[in-house]
Structure 1
Amino acid sequence: MKIFTSIFLLLSTVVPSVLSQSIIDLAAADGKYGTLLNAVTNTPGVLDAIARSFPVTIFAPTNDAFAAIASTVSQLETSALATVLAGHVVQGVFTAQDFIHMGCVELTTLAGDHLRVLYQDGSVLVNESRVIQPNVAGDGGIIHGIDKVILPGTFRRCPRKKGGKRSGSSSSGSSGSKSGKRRLMQQHE
């Protein structure tokens, strides 16, 4: 999968954008991410910061995820909202299969905060959110739809492996069973 992603990214930079739509266009066409797109495009500097960081992985809360915390979001000042939004984006392209393979990884967001992405019991979890729509790939990176807005203070480190080492991006193994991995990939194909 990594080879395919690398070839796709290389081709998308060499060949005109006939190959695919931008990740922003794909999210808009999906219909589940309107609240996120509205916030990103109407919060000064956020869309520019994301575009300057391409390719990126975006953990995109659905409209329902934003609706669940609408009162909290409405009380945020512009700079705090920008930080929350940037806290859903990391540089680089990470597929669901990458996360399954890594087991648990800690990533730094564009806001400078950390996210824990953990494969557990057939699901990919991002802090307290669950990936419900993985691998929406287009020009500029990849989007994974999530069921909750990621808020500051929800980061927890990856669990320690036997021997006292933390699992992370250098980990070659993954947690969970092979059948759980198949179930996740089938669920989202």
Structure 2
Amino acid sequence: MKKLGSILMIAMFFVASAFAPRAEKVHEVEADIVDLAVSTEFLSTLVAAVKAGDLVDVLKGDGPFTVFAPTNDAFAKLPAGTVENLLKPENKDQLVAVLTYHVVAGKIMSSDLKDGQKAATVQGGEITVTLKDGKAMINNATVTTADIEADNGVVHVIDTVILPTM
């Protein structure tokens, strides 16, 4: 029953945050990064990709991690067939590269972000932060919901999939 209550709390949290004002800061819930994403319908494409890339155990690890989590709509902006192609077993290395480009080691809260800041991703590339008109951007993606704290890090929801140079 306690687990069901926790799941319902997480689900209500994400339904509320889906309609929250852009870049609103939210509070910590008791779940790891993967559990948060799994309980959030608008991150279901990301969850499918994390599963296909065999990254579930990594993102359930101790961390801390900062994840810039693209929404389903963000994945839908990619050229037709891109997601399906990345999910094919033979393209697992490319998929892992794209997903790990969205992850930074350490816990970076929105208040830690500085205009022009660069951060190394787990993939090995670098992302750039831009602060403009009260909004944070990671490369070409806008942070729509910031500071969703998890047991092993923090998630910032973004509106565009950011792609590493390949």
Q: Same fold (TM over 0.5)?
A: yes
> CA shift at 1:50, angstroms?
3.3
User: Could you tell me the TM-score, scaled by structure 2's length?
Assistant: 0.73
Please give the per-residue CA displacement for 1:30-83, whole angstroms capped at 9, x wherever unaligned: 321110011101213x23343446100000000111112152232331110110
Q: Which residue of 2 aligns with 1:175?
A: none
Distance in 1, Cα, partners of 2:37 & 2:104: 17
Q: Which residue of 2 aligns with 1:137?
A: 149
Residue correspondence of structure 1 range 20-169 to structure 2 within 5 A: 20-44=30-54, 46-52=55-61, 54-69=63-78, 70-76=80-86, 77-99=91-113, 102-153=114-165
Larger RCO (alpha carbons 8 Å, 6+ apart): 2
Largest Rg, 1 or 2: 1
Give 5+ residue unaligned stretches, structure 1.
Answer: 1-18, 155-189
User: Could you tell me the TM-score, scaled by structure 1's length?
Assistant: 0.65
Q: In 2, are the aligned partners of 1:107 and 1:116 still within 8 Å (CA)?
A: yes
Q: Partner of 2:30: helix, strand, or coil? A: coil
The one-letter code of the counterpart of 2:118 is E
Q: In 2, are the aligned partners of 1:133 and 1:144 still within 8 Å (CA)?
A: yes
Distance in 1, Cα, partners of 2:62 & 2:121: 11
Q: In 1, are the aligned partners of 2:67 and 2:104 still within 8 Å (CA)?
A: yes
The one-letter code of the counterpart of 2:138 is V
Distance in 2, Cα, partners of 1:41 & 1:128: 25
Q: In 2, are the aligned partners of 1:59 and 1:145 still within 8 Å (CA)?
A: yes
Give 5+ residue unaligned stretches, structure 2.
Answer: 1-28
Q: Partner of 2:117: helix, strand, or coil? A: strand
Q: Partner of 2:149: helix, strand, or coil? A: strand
> CA shift at 1:117, angstroms?
1.5
Please give the per-residue CA displacement for 1:89-143, whole angstroms capped at 9, x wherever unaligned: 00111111111xx233111111101001121121100000000011111111000
Q: Percent identity?
A: 36
- Which has the higher mean CA deviation after the structures are superposed, 23-32 or 59-68? 23-32
Distance in 1, Cα, partners of 2:132 & 2:62: 29
Q: CA RMSD in A?
A: 1.9
